[in-house]
Structure 1
Amino acid sequence: MDITLIQKNIAAVAAGWSSESAARLERRALDKADFATLRDAGLTLTGVPEEMGGVWQSGVRSTRPTAAIFRTLARVDPSVALVATMHPTVLALWLEEPAEPPADSNAWREQHDRVLAAAKAGHWFGTISSEPGGGGDLMATRATAEKGSDGAWRLTGDKQMGSGSGVTSFMMTVAVPKGEMTPDIFLLDTRELPWDGSRGATLVRAWDGHGMAATQSHAFRYDGVAVERHAQMGGAIKLVPRVLPIIAYMFSSVIMGILDAALAEGRRRLQPRAERMSAFERVSWTKAVNDIWLAEQAFQGMARAIESGAASPGVPRGKLAIAELAEASMLSISRAIGGASYSRSSPFGQWSQDVRALGLLRPPWALAHHQLFEASFAD
């Protein structure tokens, strides 16, 4: 199976789901059957390298075609699309070449092969690395991990935004190993892990967001929950800056999918009365179309920056621009359509909340602006 075939398979899945799109936007929980369907369509292979039977070649070569899949999904179900993007982006920490030689190359190779084999077998990977009050900065984690006499690591701390909780088999997280100063990457096996605290994981708050409402981005308290440390032993956290552009582009692909759907639905509703639209409605619609066009240019610019292979603030800048343009364009479309856009039977209110929620993700607004402020003096 190659990436082109997976794109065709997912397009067929999305077409089959299109008649349910209104009902899907009203959901407040994920359906495991959806992820079984996506697995059977080959989507979990986006987190598996070609040499192991998957479709991932490298961040430079695979980010654009993989993101196109999530853009297609987002047109009919943004929540499912967002959760699915976590899979290849988390696995990039095993797919990308180490920043420096691992201390134990045998341990690294064993873990690398085992983790990616799990993805090939159809297991979903996600992330629960954000923390209350952390502002989205992974390096500011207050969670800790300690290695026991049995050689196993156990993590303690509060985590939130666990998108895909209950659907994923594994969750990537971050904690500071005892006796060290720098956070590192850990992997949490969530299969058969209860949420009642009996094995160290307690559900603190079920996800109740206005946007991305069905992502099950729950919050948990971990008290000595069993985790596995990334086998690069400190090297994986150094890969994060290399992986962040991939994450930003994948998340942006979900925004672009929503904008595709909003533009198509707006045209469907407004074209029959285009000649009777007021000046205000015409200006609002034109502004929305222009903003979506600009978002597309930013999206393509992000892809070119990633494909250039050079470190550049172009990717986070593009993601921030897309988030702002998406929010503005959704407001303009609503103004053009009028009060009907705020009906619960209309998708525009949910789409508006969805793009707003995506603007807050990886990195959130404050951290994104801080990073771009610093980069602005280095251009």
Structure 2
Amino acid sequence: MRIVLATDAWEPQMNGVVRTLTRTVAECRAMGHEVEVIEPGQFKTIPCPTYPEIRLALGAEEEIRERLRAFEPEAVHISTEGPIGIATRRICVEWKLPFTTSYHTKFPEYVSARFPIPVQVGYAYMKWFHKPSGRLMVATPTLRDELTEHGFRNVSPWSRGVDTTCSGPIANPSTRNSAERTGRRPFWLNVGRVAVEKNIESFLELDLPGTKIIVGDGPAKADLESRYPEAKFLGARFGEELARCFADADVFVFPSWTDTFGLVILEAMAAGTPVAAYPAHGPIDIIPGSGAGAIDDDLKTACLEALKMDPETVRAYAEKFSWRASAEQFVENLQPYPEPQKTRLWRRLRRLARVRGKAA
């Protein structure tokens, strides 16, 4: 198929949404699909307030129209609810062009944590945005049920994967804990953006033996570093350095309540590192019964339980998650429209473009 992916989250951003989308695009292309990505780097942008790593596209709508006409997609997927997502949604609604969407972040809770905006307002916006979507893809059954209760329609599963084939410590749990680090064991690790919505402070407040290690950057880093001097803040790490951080840890601690999946959970498990978390979206669907982690309303209890788990069992569980299976599920959800309707649509749009060109 010819697939358009419209997203406000793309490289060089580093987060779970971007990793999910880039791997999905790579797998779709490997399966023979042609994918056109519409992303912020193709337009003039401004930094997102409170999150400058995210660039918001300006004046993208006309170019998106032209790219849709030229590419003639058989499926359109709108991944995010930002400026590119809004512009693409507007075009699809205007042209009566079927499209799908996905729900990557608990946007209402995320915004409410940063600004004095009620959660209900965020949900009203999200329901408006996703209402015309043929399918709303979500990562977990728990999130599907919650959104359905909020009045969302056409909610379909789209799971995630993890790369367990790369070389280095992630591929071999027997090398865990081999790197030299200062500090007392056990090592309790958190990896991700250091921001208020990630709830990292609840992890740092725990009375745990050993050493807490935070990997990542973000607006809350300086404040937390000054208030919790006993923790080690290593900043951002990538590639082999990041893999070593995962492998050196005794437990990965995931305190977030706003993520919809938590891709970093699988990445920790792929290194043989068990995960401790609250019973939130993502952990509650991934961890129970896995032997690869523990969840509890008392995060300390979950941490101490996870510490008992076997790295080989943890790694074996991670191997069940495949990016190819995730991409196949994504493609199944795209709902390509029938060939006769598609042909008429693009013939009409080309005719409209010629008329407008002559008028100009």
TM range (shorter): under 0.3
TM-score normalised by the chain length of structure 1: 0.26
Which is helix-richer, 1 or 2?
1
TM-score by length of 2: 0.26
